[in-house]
Amino acid sequence: MKKFKLTSIAALTALMILSGCAGSKKTKVIFWTGFGGKINGVLEPLLAEYQARPENADIEIDYTTKGGYPNLYQAISLSVSNEEYPHIANGYPDHFATYLSSNILLSLDGFINSEVEGIGVDLSDFHQAYLKENQEMAYYRDPNTGVPDKTKPITVGLPFNKSTEIMIANQTFFDVMAIYDENVVIPKTWDQLDTVGTRIIELMTEKNIFGNVLLKDGTVVLKENVPTSEDANYDAFAETVAVDFRTVKKDIFRPISWDSTENFFITAVRQWGGTYTEMGSDITKGYVRFDSAETRAALTYFKESYQKRIFGLPSSFGTDQYASKAFKKGECVLTISSSAGADENVPDGSVEFPFRQSSNEIPYKFADKKYVISQGTNLALFDRGDAKVKTEAWKLLRYLTTEVNDRFGRDTSYFPVTKTMQDSEIYREFLDGDADEKGYTGRQRAIQDTAILNNDVYDDPTEAWLKFTDPGFEGSAFIRAEVGSIMDKLFIGGKTPDQVIAEAYSKLSKYVE
């Protein structure tokens, strides 16, 4: 691997001198992301606020969104030859691995460790589960042997927008189910899901709920007896409705679905005690490790759950990516999705009779292996421009991660990446605020519920949840894409655990050691 470029303390010192000398020409900082419109609507005002600071009068932020992470990755990769990549961009570890191999990333350690006011940061303040992946791709070399010293990691990025996976429940539905059977609860473990899922299907069949309307007191109203909006009693009736199942057929219904088939497979491997991938001596080498008894046990459980009509995938409901529409229609009552998209499952305005949803931790298999994936991107600096522009890019990165990350998280449903931001007055007010008093919409409630879940459950050490990421190396993105088809093949394709593992290993032979 090519030698990794570092920002030296000497260069940083020179840079600070330059930074204090404003010239007639503005310093342009080019910033690229893969964000869509919703996130840009929050990020752009924060950039404008930073730009408006008096000390930044000679700075111009040239911000561009590439409209998706694959597009961002491609744009940066294609810009290597002409060195037209940005000064700062966000990305995933497997993307950073490619940039490292192209020798276009800068180490952040010179800035991080600076004692200059307004430059250095305290790495211990960052949530280590988020920081870890930024310090697993490159290492300082032993001056005598030239061999990378894995006790001395290079920091290639800092966490920016972080999320995890949660299980969203149709809470109104479960409240009614408890009237029928107090044991029908939102499951905490996969074993409990098997029992609860089976019982849900039994009750919905016994009570003739499919194709009809379920009321909050447990009464079922036949679809032909449901009043229309023109009827005088319509508003009163609407107040009594729990869930509208008029369009839901029994052969389509599945109690639970999981949006990301990649995360589904990887998390299952982890929770059953297996290993997904492993990085070799450096980012140019990495290997698949999921051909194991643990993986087979996990796949066997989920295949049986699918055959019992408990588990589904978005494809089970005729869609490719997300089960949010199926959830809002009542075709499933539990859906595992990204916390960053929790508000996409809110039925406000999309169904005739909205229900209440709740955010819950995903089920686990073993109490000592409560793994849940950590998602989202990090910010990195690129080796472009002079010392001044690199420092200005760093100061922008520092601002976004340590100064306004609480506001960014509050307004996007991402989680603050530092303890200071998570405990800030702004974020605490958001977490502790009374949703009714503040007049929160359903979407705002969903974002708040998810933030509370992360703060009170996933980040509570006594709950023993383990947020994880897998190592980023050359080819890790390709491996992830390939395993994304495993659950579909297992469920829809009807293949066995042995068959799907063998097929994956055949296609990933380059990464088999």
Domain spans of the chain, in order of start? 9-162+376-426, 165-189+250-374+442-511
- CA 414, CA 451: separation in Å to the nearest integer? 8
The pLDDT assigned to 141 comes to 87
The pLDDT assigned to 24 comes to 56
Judge whether 73 and 99 are in contact, CB under 8 Å.
Answer: no
CATH classification number, 9-162+376-426, choose in 1.10.940.10, 3.40.190.10, 3.20.20.10, 3.30.2320.80? 3.40.190.10
Dihedral, CA of residue 15, residue 16, residue 17 and residue 19, to nearest 10: 90
The pLDDT assigned to 349 comes to 77
- CA 262, CA 264: separation in Å to the nearest integer? 5
Angle between the N-to-C axes of helices 405-412 and 442-453, in degrees from 0 to 180, rounded to the nearest 10: 120
Q: Tokens 């191999």 map to which residue?
A: 101
The pLDDT assigned to 1 comes to 40
Report CA torsion sign: 302, 504, 472, 477. Answer: negative
Both tokens assigned to 147: 């061999």
Which amino acid, one-letter code, is at 166? Answer: I
Strand partners for 335: 168, 257
Residue 499: its H or E element: helix 497-507
Classify residue 440 as left (phi > 0), alpha (psi -120 to 50) or beta: beta
Contacts (Cβ under 8 Å, ≥6 apart) of 276: 266, 269, 270, 288, 289, 290, 470, 483
Judge whether 493 and 272 are in contact, CB under 8 Å.
Answer: no
The pLDDT assigned to 25 comes to 81
Judge whether 258 and 264 are in contact, CB under 8 Å.
Answer: yes
Q: Tokens 């509050």 map to which residue?
A: 410
* Three-state SS at 401: helix
Both tokens assigned to 141: 């070399």
| Alpha carbon 406 to its chain's center | 17
Cα–Cα nearest to 357, from 174, 147, 165: 174
- The yes-or-no answer to whether 9-162+376-426 and 165-189+250-374+442-511 have a common fold is yes
Both tokens assigned to 357: 């949803």
| Binned average pLDDT, 10 residues per bin, the chain of 513 residues | 46 48 76 95 97 95 95 95 96 91 95 95 96 92 85 95 97 98 98 98 98 98 96 96 97 97 97 96 92 98 98 91 94 96 86 94 98 96 96 98 97 95 95 91 91 95 95 90 96 96 98 96
CATH classification number, 165-189+250-374+442-511, choose in 3.40.190.10, 3.40.1260.10, 1.10.3720.10, 3.40.50.300? 3.40.190.10
- CA 194, CA 199: separation in Å to the nearest integer? 9
The pLDDT assigned to 9 comes to 42
CA 314 vs CA 258, 270, 318: distances in Å: 7, 22, 7
